[in-house]
Structure 1
């Protein structure tokens, strides 16, 4: 969504509202102080009336105006920067609502006090209780709408059952704040504003990566702040409406007030015991007078203790509500992994967020035990040995035997390059029809690759570290469950991975990423994986940039070449590039490289972002051609794996353009794949090196490379290689069977993967999926869970 310079025309109107609010607030504060001074019993006569009024100013009156001032200031800043995309008149209602709510809020203390003074103690309590219940109910609803409205055009169409779930979550949260802060409406007002902030944050995350906020995102919030720094976040009329709803919620919260239980009516005459009655026993520690129950009772008679207890009870209720019921099985909440925003927009933010929270651990496969898992792995290793191993009589076995013998002698350096957002968007009808044919070298110019094809990912538009994890560890995200970021969640000290394998062979291991070392917690993860050295942005001072100030691919590859040229010790070099990272609205592409494709059916802003991305991808294509040319000149054996981590977010509008009649899995399959190739500067034994084509999941790339060049591989890797006969491609969104048919995973598939014994009569692909679930839990899940 693009902003417009015309949004600055709203600034005088907003500024006028700000000035009016400040003047009215100051005027009321002085008036309120004057009335308090006049009513003061002290009868003070010193000083002018204004001074006496100022001495009686209530700071809380000023504090209650701050939310409204903040809302207006936020709107003013965004409009002044040209970052508001709403039409003329779109701010009228939000501004009027904000000013009206501010006006209603200013006298709330005086109005509440006046009402109580006109009622008796008992009547005041019951009227106040009813008012608090009604105000809390309305405030919760306004807060819920402020959460949904900024990003969810369908918020009014959410099914009632999901509205109820979200309402209860917000209500219990607000009750917790209300009681723990001693029944102060200010605590609820803070809750309303937090819902607004969360809603706007969800809107910005949607702009950034076309996805919903997940529990894992909270663990990676530092990375999100870092990589989103270059993005321009515009706001829409929907965001402005949410500000108005939040203002209404704050106004309701202002009138929430502490209540005092009516005093018990005492008897007018003391009751005297008959003369013949037995003397009353004095209570002791064992009776009710001084026992624990009596102590608790006396404590609960104190309002502060009673409110705190209710707050803790509400907190416990909230914890129980988000942990005990299964949001999938009990409440019917379902997630669409290839289009999480669709699920969230139809069911609400909190139901989907909690559903993902409940699935934060790696699901244990049905009936799993270590002995059975090792038995399954043994079976798959046996299948590998018969078809693919050095003792197999097949062509693959013969090639593997030759490659193993060669690897022991040559010990080639291995370079893995994960290229940011690199993909071939000519797969989309509208882009291809506009004349774009894809990255020239990678698509048609590379004729001597070991292997090449499409690489299938579990992410789109963001989440780079997940493709990196799959490639280095060989574990498909399908077996971990959706919306997880392994790098930010788990300890990798004991996790099998490529750098650890090559280090065990005596290789030096290096990681390169020309950005902050802390992104996705890479600094910690790389150390735990066993990398000897991590070259981050501090090692690229003065390096060439290409797009949005990011270090270019050529400069990144030059760092690899420097390492390759400085010695002959075999190395494992893992590289994550940065050049093609979004945003793609910067206009920073060199003029000579600018492209101008205009796919029909897309907006001008979508086409602008598309062309900026395609310019980046074209330069990446040229850079990798140059790099392979330089590696080809070296006097040492080097094998290279190159792949894209995910498609860029600008591809999203074109994913459905012209595919309106296709199924969701067909659309998703096209979105969730990039391009890869394996190449070597030496003749790899057993390989023709004629750019053989095979599509692979990203999780199989590292295993396949090591297999092709003859490197030693683990039992898990052998099982993974063997599994591809029945299950050639797999990702979070679904799988491809041996016949080439795609099948979508349902939400139920994430609850618990069936055991091999349960899938014996299922398709070969589903049976293999359950077998690999056991193997992956054995070799990864059981280690980190």
Structure 2
């Protein structure tokens, strides 16, 4: 890896910025000297280039540039030259006008389209160059489509801006901004920016402080393209309209043209299926692979077109009812007749235990990676040694490295992201007021539901979603002491556990408390945990020092969580009231993508990706649950089944939907956005022609009625 540029190199772009300021001021004075009017563009166009140079100077000064000094010199010279060229825009435009015998009606539109086309090509190149190491391999058709999309957007902005290049700069800025943003997302999470991520910008901003931000040469080259594109647009100027009525008419015509182009783009988005038109299929497991090979814009549009929840083939409510009734009947004839379940039902009616769920941020047992286990790591010790759980095992999540809200959604509603769509965030997209949920179900049994999360209540739209799901109280960051102990990325797990214990002790009525911790959130850079604590595991074959640092920082966080879990269990054992505890991790940490690639090269795609979505869980009680020997029965589940399984074991009433989920487990042991495991022990993709395909279709149909029909 290239070393970080010393902060003293900031003088290079700073000097270029100062030089461009001097040229701009000199040009402005010269214009005034000759008695000509100084237009706003004479200042604003070079100002954009000055801003790029100033930003680069700041990044260098802050130690955020990891490329060669020569690249910095090239960046500074090219951006300064591009900015200086904008100072000649009026003179050059005048020369072109004098060449046009039709007073600008012929050459000017041709010139404008040519300049916008050049700017569109540069914008798409800037978007891809910033992050995509495979950008040169993108098929020309896909690159051309991306350019066409940007060109149409520029054309609409061109007309809306009264045939100037001013508003067209928005398209350039968006492309450049997405390129840089995707660069950082790629660095931190090995993921792609999805359309639904745009609805989670506030959440992303709130949790972005734990990362180290540095740019490489690719980003610098991307910004050069942005600068040149802006210069191209600076030469787009309208012909003067001497008469007032013509100026007014021109404004109206231009706005109509802008609306027509925008309407054509909207019509194309709704009627042209990009996957079919371009003959490709985006990878719904791992969209970043498609983004890399097919380009950001075609892939992004394909994902956006897939956002609506598709109706199953030949769907009817009656068909969904029949499928659910059949599974409920199977449950009633088997699981519902189990003597253990009947005994637990009788006990639950009398006991009404408090139900606590800890969704621990990024908690997982990475000893599932053979190389790490062979290096001596055996997982969180206390967690794995807990011998009196009702049930525990592997928990299949629908997300890796992020997307906590989707794990929440699956647990609290019983609906699987598998049938909502990968890359969609229900918390951001839908009103969940009419959706069945665990808090609403327990409220009908006399429970008070509380949510705990030591972060901003607006993250993932929780302040709106939690009341929709039936939570009566939401304990968020404002309810924690400012001086509460912190670890790594937030207040400690133990601090949140104390909040849970406080409510258990102060309110002796039936309670459901859902605690979403923050301590283990990414990133996992060096120095984010106490110096005397970091672990030191080095799996064979892992030579990347940065990856090893992130891995051991993460494992150190899990060790801290394990200590806090010990505290919580000890407190619950002596709290003096019956409590059921559900503990699970929402997803694996983001660095496991790189770890998986190093430790398991050459694997088939299904096996390789499956491992990344394995989390872990247990269900525990501090009292003897009737019909259960509490000997840590091990069973794989998916997150959307976890609440139903917990309620079944403790004897709580179940909805028909939950009964259907439990009955389906005789054939499908777990299901997530990444596929499912059949009773034969094999893993299958969601659309695979497996022995369980008909049951998958039935579950899709039932969930469509249970969820999609209620959010319309």
Q: Is the 8 A contact 1:448 1:679 kept in 2?
A: yes
1:454-510 CA deviation, whole Å, 9 max, x = no partner? 100110111101001101111110111121111112222221111111111011211
Following TM superposition, the consecutive aligned residue runs of length 4 or more in structure 1 with deviations greater than 6 angstroms are: 260-263, 298-301
The equivalent of 2:269 in structure 1 is 322
Closer/same/farther in 2, CA of residues 448 and 179 from structure 1, 3 Å limit: same
**RMSD between aligned residues:** 2.1
The equivalent of 2:46 in structure 1 is 65
Q: Is the 8 A contact 1:554 1:627 kept in 2?
A: yes
SS of residue paired to 1:593: coil
The answer as to 2:612 corresponding to 1:678 is no
Closer/same/farther in 2, CA of residues 490 and 770 from structure 1, 3 Å limit: same
Q: Is the 8 A contact 1:458 1:731 kept in 2?
A: yes
Q: CA deviation at 1:256?
A: 1.7
Aligned match for 2:252, one of 278, 299, 305: 305
Q: Distance in 1 between matches of 2:100 and 2:666?
A: 81
The equivalent of 2:72 in structure 1 is 91
The answer as to 2:477 corresponding to 1:537 is yes
Aligned match for 2:325, one of 352, 370, 378: 378
Closer/same/farther in 2, CA of residues 593 and 251 from structure 1, 3 Å limit: same
Q: Is the 8 A contact 2:358 2:583 kept in 1?
A: yes
The answer as to 2:704 corresponding to 1:784 is no
The equivalent of 1:169 in structure 2 is 149
Q: Distance in 2 between matches of 1:435 and 1:538?
A: 41
Q: CA deviation at 1:655?
A: 1.0
Q: Distance in 2 between matches of 1:530 and 1:95?
A: 56
Q: Is the 8 A contact 1:140 1:249 kept in 2?
A: yes
Q: Distance in 2 between matches of 1:483 and 1:357?
A: 9
SS of residue paired to 1:379: helix
Aligned match for 1:252, one of 232, 237, 252: 232
Q: Distance in 1 between matches of 2:670 and 2:692?
A: 10
SS of residue paired to 1:16: helix
Q: CA deviation at 1:107?
A: 0.5
Q: Distance in 2 between matches of 1:260 and 1:307?
A: 14
The equivalent of 2:117 in structure 1 is 137
1:157-236 equivalences in 2 (<5 Å): 157-236=137-216
The answer as to 2:351 corresponding to 1:410 is yes
The equivalent of 2:5 in structure 1 is 6
Closer/same/farther in 2, CA of residues 538 and 383 from structure 1, 3 Å limit: same
The equivalent of 2:487 in structure 1 is 547
1:435-466 CA deviation, whole Å, 9 max, x = no partner? 222111222x1111111111001101111010
Q: CA deviation at 1:261?
A: 11
The equivalent of 2:309 in structure 1 is 362
Q: CA deviation at 1:706?
A: 0.4
SS of residue paired to 2:276: coil
Q: Distance in 1 between matches of 2:62 and 2:585?
A: 35
SS of residue paired to 1:454: strand
The answer as to 2:60 corresponding to 1:79 is yes
The equivalent of 1:495 in structure 2 is 435
The answer as to 2:699 corresponding to 1:772 is yes
Closer/same/farther in 2, CA of residues 67 and 430 from structure 1, 3 Å limit: farther
Q: Distance in 2 between matches of 1:475 and 1:549?
A: 29
SS of residue paired to 1:677: strand
Question: Normalized against structure 2, the TM-score is what?
Answer: 0.96
Closer/same/farther in 2, CA of residues 745 and 241 from structure 1, 3 Å limit: farther
Q: Is the 8 A contact 1:146 1:246 kept in 2?
A: yes
1:281-680 equivalences in 2 (<5 Å): 302-389=249-336, 392=337, 397-443=338-384, 445-542=385-482, 544-548=484-488, 550-585=490-525, 587-599=527-539, 600-680=541-621
Q: Distance in 1 between matches of 2:487 and 2:9?
A: 33
Q: Which moved more, 1:671-680 or 1:602-611?
A: 602-611
The answer as to 2:100 corresponding to 1:110 is no
SS of residue paired to 1:656: helix
1:300-334 CA deviation, whole Å, 9 max, x = no partner? 99333332222122111211222211122333342
The equivalent of 1:48 in structure 2 is none
1:260-271 equivalences in 2 (<5 Å): none
Q: Is the 8 A contact 2:12 2:57 kept in 1?
A: no
Q: Distance in 2 between matches of 1:658 and 1:567?
A: 49
Q: CA deviation at 1:722?
A: 0.6
The answer as to 2:649 corresponding to 1:708 is yes
1:67-126 CA deviation, whole Å, 9 max, x = no partner? 11111111111111111111332223322221221122111111111332354335x432
SS of residue paired to 2:105: helix
1:729-754 CA deviation, whole Å, 9 max, x = no partner? 111111111111112246xx8xxxxx
1:647-676 CA deviation, whole Å, 9 max, x = no partner? 111222111113112111111111011110
1:246-268 CA deviation, whole Å, 9 max, x = no partner? 111111111123258999xxxxx
1:712-743 CA deviation, whole Å, 9 max, x = no partner? 00000000001111111111111111111112
Q: CA deviation at 1:539?
A: 1.3
Q: Distance in 2 between matches of 1:701 and 1:713?
A: 13
Q: Distance in 1 between matches of 2:417 and 2:574?
A: 38
Q: Distance in 1 between matches of 2:84 and 2:655?
A: 70
The equivalent of 1:754 in structure 2 is none
Q: Is the 8 A contact 1:300 1:306 kept in 2?
A: no
Q: Is the 8 A contact 1:3 1:235 kept in 2?
A: no
Q: CA deviation at 1:4?
A: 5.6
Q: Is the 8 A contact 2:158 2:165 kept in 1?
A: yes
Q: CA deviation at 1:775?
A: 1.0
Q: CA deviation at 1:551?
A: 0.8
SS of residue paired to 1:640: strand
Q: Distance in 2 between matches of 1:703 and 1:324?
A: 40
SS of residue paired to 1:302: helix
Q: Which moved more, 1:67-76 or 1:95-104?
A: 95-104
1:2-54 CA deviation, whole Å, 9 max, x = no partner? 996534242121122112111122222222333x32xx7xxxxxxxxxxxxxx
Closer/same/farther in 2, CA of residues 497 and 776 from structure 1, 3 Å limit: same
Q: Is the 8 A contact 2:241 2:247 kept in 1?
A: no
Q: Distance in 2 between matches of 1:88 and 1:433?
A: 43
The answer as to 2:131 corresponding to 1:151 is yes
The equivalent of 1:15 in structure 2 is 14
Q: CA deviation at 1:145?
A: 1.0
Closer/same/farther in 2, CA of residues 711 and 256 from structure 1, 3 Å limit: same
The equivalent of 2:678 in structure 1 is 737
Q: Distance in 2 between matches of 1:505 and 1:552?
A: 32
Q: Is the 8 A contact 2:340 2:628 kept in 1?
A: yes
